[in-house]
Amino acid sequence: MGLSMPKRAVAFVALVTVAGATVLGTSLLHWHSDDLLKFGCYLLIAILASTMKVRLPGMESTMSVHFLFVLLGVLELSLAETLVIGCTAALAQCVWRTKQRPDPVKVAFNVLGMTSIAIAATYFAYHVSAGFLKNSMPLLLLVAACTYFLANTAPIAIVIALSEGRPLRGIWSETYFWSIPFYLIGAAVVGLVSFSNRFVGWQGALLVVPIMYWIYRSYHLYLGRLEDEKRRVEIEERHVQAEKRHVEEVCALHLRTIEGLALAIDAKDHNTHGHLHRVRTYAVAIAEDLGLVEQDMDALRAAALLHDIGKLAVPDHIINKPGRLTPEEFEKMKIHPIVGAEILEKVAFPYPVAPIVRSHHEKWNGEGYPDGLKGEEIPIGARILTAVDCLDALASDRQYRKALPLGEAMKQIVEEAGISFDPQVVEVLQRRYLELESLAVHSLEETLKDSLSFSHTVERGQRPAAGFELDLKRRGNQTDFLSSIASARQEAHTLFELSQDLGNSLSLDETLSLVAMRLRKLVPYDSIVAFVRKGDLLLPEFVSGDNFRLLSSLQIPVGTGLCGWVAENARPIINGNPAVETGFAHGKTSTSEPRSALAVPLEGVTGLVGVLALYQAAPDAFTSDHLRVLQVITSRVALFIENALKYREAESSATIDYLTGMANARALSMHLEQELARCKREHSTVAVIVCDLDGFKQINDRFGHLAGDKVLKLLAGWMGQACRRYDYAARMGGDEFVIIAPNMTEKAVSERAAHLSAMAQKAGREVCGADFLSLSAGAAFYPQDGIEAEKLLAEADRKMYAAKQLHYERDGTIVMGGIRLAPSAALN
């Protein structure tokens, strides 16, 4: 007890124990007894009564009926005799039939502390009150019983409060207050015994034993019923909690099922994620306005998220097609309400979700699908969903068209009221659509966090168990035999000409121009674009025909728009809508604006190279025969583009310095020859400036070659910024750079050299924190110093080395081949 209690509780226990022991010891020092036999009988009966104990609810403490003889002793015995009776009975109560070995501290606190203090307090309260209430025995007994009750229960309640930090009043009222009738009844019994003793003597007190047993049994049964009732209530509460948890789990399961299925739809059709949540926001608000019951509301919430789940049965290329559907494709699309309803019937929702999903494409006039329901035959949830679904579809970007303004979309819905949509639903939607749009935007911001991730790459699994498909391409529909023969002859001739064209040159522009010219004979077009894939973008590499500026500016992310869809799915598209292309300018309609597109993927050896797109101003201008002809030549075009891009890359790497990105020595030589030829034609001048870093070897030696490389890259970047637009800077090798500056005077060269020297100093400080890097420069001028490239480079190199040998002069300037440079020139 003492080890587990806080210090303040231990101090209180010690104080009560010491005080009680003092009271008991003092009383025993003044012991006297008028009738030892009477005292002995009362003591034995009290000990017997102490074995009749009951356990207090919610505690380890017990209570017995020996207090009857404590009260009787207060009335008829001395204080010392009463203390002996009470403490002995309390001791017997502590050790009689206990489940655990009694704690000495608890025993001392209960016997010496609480019991002694309670008996002494009761004794003095009774005898003091007797001076004021001489002829009122009931009131005296009431005072004695209440005093004993308070003094016997308050200390243990205080200990619990100090140990557990709980309110004293709450502990006392919950644990002990219910027993006050027990003390009051005991006081009444003691009063009757005391009254009978006046006539029959103290021996009549022996008759109280059966009464004690009756009181004991009564309270034992009473507490038993309390425990049974408590257990019954706890069992009922557990059942209620279990049922509540079950209901919550079922509701949560349905909600997770709905959300999971909605994510499944999102995985199939990425454009529907925001659409589903906007539709739910609109539909629920309209249903509340129309006063739908809770069950119908729950069904509509689920159906709004799941109405497109049947699209799982529709092929991807139909769902994401950025053009109008063919009749065959529309037949495939029309099955999604039926499939969706069949899927949701398996879920066994506690509300009717499947009928709403099945009927969400029905029309008010009976011309919808799949069942041709009319008017109020259509479930109210489906009528709401149909109108809301159509409004959001019109106001959102889709693969086959751009979004309409919300107000214009609402006008189209109003025009269809009584034809396609329930007029009552349209009236509510028209009244509240602006308010609901703001709610939907806010709701969508929260739901975007739940979007699926499609960027994860699975490293394991190199091939399917059945192997890869070998024949990836199939021919389209057959046409009549005369057209087939004519097309075959044209294809053979075109293929022969293109084979020759594609093999003659590796120039992209030149060869693609020939391809465009020959292709126009077979597939008429107004514009042609060859897009090349660079990362996740399609960039126009070759553009010819109308709308050149518009088509040249396109940058199409793979997976968006018409050509982006073709690139992502590696499938052609015929008569797609160019207006859905990302970056397509939408202004006033012109006669030359393309309205139909034929796009095919260009697949090379290493994968997708790009997309070849043909455009016409007329709608539906391309035929399946055009597509077939284009597919014949695209494999060769893709291979040529792939090879030409590799050649361009190799050519670029041959003229570009790999470290700094500047032109290298080979490129410098070619450019200098071209520049000298221009100077001869135009009788102009050009300066050739050769620069070399001083102290660069120290950087490599002290800080390593990586630091040296960093200095070179930094200086090269600054040097390019310092040059004029028509100047030409190159790295000759090592730490040597050359600048070709047309029409630059000697004074301007001096200023440029000083500027470059300051750049070199700053580069050294930034990378190494040292100020020992500088730059020497020499300049040669055409035609004064020579008319040939080699002679000009040699002269500039000689002057540069001459400047290297010189040191600072006394006036603080640097000498460079006869040109005086100020070393203090600062880099802006």
How far is Cα 632 from Cα 639, in angstroms, rounded to an integer? 13
Q: Which of 691, 703, 698, 673 is nearest to 804 (CA)?
A: 691
Token code pair at residue 606: 């290493």
Contact in structure between 89 and 49 (CB atoms under 8 Å): yes
Token code pair at residue 558: 């793979």
Q: Check 526, 735, 771, 811 and give the catalytic one.
A: 735
How far is Cα 625 from Cα 619, in angstroms, rounded to an integer? 16
Q: Which of 422, 301, 280, 285 is nearest to 353 (CA)?
A: 301
Q: Helices 294-306 and 272-290, interaxial angle, to 10°?
A: 160
CA 633 to centroid of chain Cα atoms: 47
Count how many Cα atoms sit within 13 Å of the Cα of residue 486 in the half-sphere of its side chain. 8
Backbone φ, ψ for residue 783 (5° rounding): -105, 5
Amino acid residing at 245: R
> Kind and range of the H or E element at 544?
strand 537-545
CA 445 to centroid of chain Cα atoms: 12
Count how many Cα atoms sit within 13 Å of the Cα of residue 660 in the half-sphere of its side chain. 27
Token code pair at residue 60: 């380890």
CA dihedral in degrees (144, 146, 148, 150; nearest 10)? -150
How far is Cα 645 from Cα 4, in angstroms, rounded to an integer? 82
Contact in structure between 179 and 55 (CB atoms under 8 Å): no
Buried b / exposed e over 80-117, threshold 16 CB at 10 Å, is bbbbbbbbbbbbbbbeeeeeeeeeebbbbbbbbbbbbb
Query: Taking CA 372 as the corner, what is the angle to CA 367 and CA 373, rounded to the nearest 5 degrees?
Result: 105
Contacts of 577 (CB under 8 A, 6+ apart): 322, 323, 324, 400, 401, 562, 595, 596, 597
Query: Taking CA 471 as the corner, what is the angle to CA 470 and CA 477, rounded to the nearest 5 degrees?
Result: 170
Backbone φ, ψ for residue 728 (5° rounding): -135, 120
Amino acid residing at 534: K
Q: How far is CA 248 from CA 244, 346, 348, 706, in A?
A: 6, 21, 16, 64
Residues shown for the chain: 828
How far is Cα 359 from Cα 373, in angstroms, rounded to an integer? 8
Contacts of 586 (CB under 8 A, 6+ apart): 402, 579
Count how many Cα atoms sit within 13 Å of the Cα of residue 605 in the half-sphere of its side chain. 7
Q: What is the DSSP letter of 322?
A: S
Contact in structure between 712 and 660 (CB atoms under 8 Å): yes
How far is Cα 490 from Cα 487, in angstroms, rounded to an integer? 5
Based on the residue annotation, tell me whether 735 is a catalytic residue of this protein: yes
Count how many Cα atoms sit within 13 Å of the Cα of residue 607 in the half-sphere of its side chain. 6
Backbone φ, ψ for residue 370 (5° rounding): -95, -15
State the burial class of residue 465 (Cβ atoms within 10 Å of its Cβ: 0-12, 13-18, 19+). Answer: exposed
Q: Which of 248, 160, 584 is nearest to 397 (CA)?
A: 584
- The catalytic residue positions are 735
